[in-house]
Amino acid sequence: MGAVTAHPALGLEVSHLRVSFDGFVAVADTSFCALPGDSFGIVGESGSGKSTVLRAICGLAPKESGTVRLTGASATGAPGSKAFRRQVQMVFQDPYGSLHPRQTVDRLLAEPLAIHGMPDAEDRIERALDEVGLGQGFRFRYPHQLSGGQRQRIAIARALILEPQILLLDEPTSALDASVQAEILNLLEALRRQRNLTFIMVSHDLAVVTHLCDRLMVMQRGQTVELLAASDLAARRVAEPYTRSLMQASAGFVRKSKPG
């Protein structure tokens, strides 16, 4: 674990991003910036375009217009370049779908290393497994032999093994039980501190986002509704009615007093 060097943190700036699929505008015009070492959250309901923003950042969705660029002292790679692809890594929502079912954990972790030509694969795999709290016993297992939480740890290890500076998290805990969610959130927080990482996290759960992020953006139907600090949300200082309705919804069911 000791050999991990903390790189100077990178930030990410997205300006006027627009993504459309066959004329359907998934993201209309979105701008935000995550400062180096920052943890930035994107909240919205299904179809709001929040995941598409992440996918457009790492090149999995076609950008129609707008720019994505790294910021910070050591920012070099342009989007799509090999350096960018190593520095910006993604963790997907569903750990049941994002791991190759016929590859062992060892092979899953070795592949990104091979792609990026990183040396000492053996050491790195061992270290990555220790870091996510799994240990060497898991190295030659298949995904179906792991629980959901363990799979998500593998997905995080696969992203971190390339020593990225930015981690894109697409609903990393929504497929997990509450107690496992707490473990993964704690792990992510610890890793961020250790490695000086920048997080961009997408979630539909306001409580999870405010727990992990300092600043956040609320999206609805491809539009940015509101940009605010997590502390504002915690203190219920929100301007937009949509954000307010999300906030109320996360508090649970309220029975109307008069039967309707």
Q: Which residues bind another protein (CB under 8 A)?
A: 45-46, 148, 177-179, 181-183, 185-186, 189-190, 204-208, 210-211, 233-236, 245-247, 249-256, 259-260
Q: How far, CA to CA in Å, does 221 sit from each of 34, 46, 51, 238?
A: 22, 9, 12, 19
The residue (of 5 and 179) whose beta carbon lies closer to another protein is 179
Q: How far is CA 111 from the centre of its chain?
A: 20
Residue 149 DSSP label: H
The residue (of 102 and 258) whose beta carbon lies closer to another protein is 258
Closest approach of another protein to the CB of residue 81, in Å: 35
Closest approach of another protein to the CB of residue 247, in Å: 7
The residue (of 82 and 244) whose beta carbon lies closer to another protein is 244
The residue (of 65 and 245) whose beta carbon lies closer to another protein is 245
- The neighbouring-strand residues paired with 67 are 15
Closest approach of another protein to the CB of residue 24, in Å: 15
What is the maximum alpha-carbon separation in the chain?
68
Residue 143 sits at the vertex; the CA angle it makes with 117 and 88, to the nearest 5 degrees, is 40
The residue (of 45 and 122) whose beta carbon lies closer to another protein is 45
| Residues with Cβ within 8 Å of residue 245, at least 6 apart in sequence | none
The residue (of 107 and 141) whose beta carbon lies closer to another protein is 141
In degrees and rounded to multiples of 5, residue 116 shows phi and psi of: -95, 10
- SS percent in the chain: helix, strand, coil, step 5: 35, 25, 40
Residue 163 sits at the vertex; the CA angle it makes with 141 and 93, to the nearest 5 degrees, is 55
Q: Determine the straight-line distance between the first and last CA of the chain, rounded to whole angstroms.
A: 59
Closest approach of another protein to the CB of residue 46, in Å: 6
Closest approach of another protein to the CB of residue 23, in Å: 19
Closest approach of another protein to the CB of residue 227, in Å: 18
Residue 19 sits at the vertex; the CA angle it makes with 215 and 63, to the nearest 5 degrees, is 95
Q: How far is CA 179 from the centre of its chain?
A: 19
The residue (of 82 and 237) whose beta carbon lies closer to another protein is 237
- The neighbouring-strand residues paired with 91 are 169
Closest approach of another protein to the CB of residue 234, in Å: 4
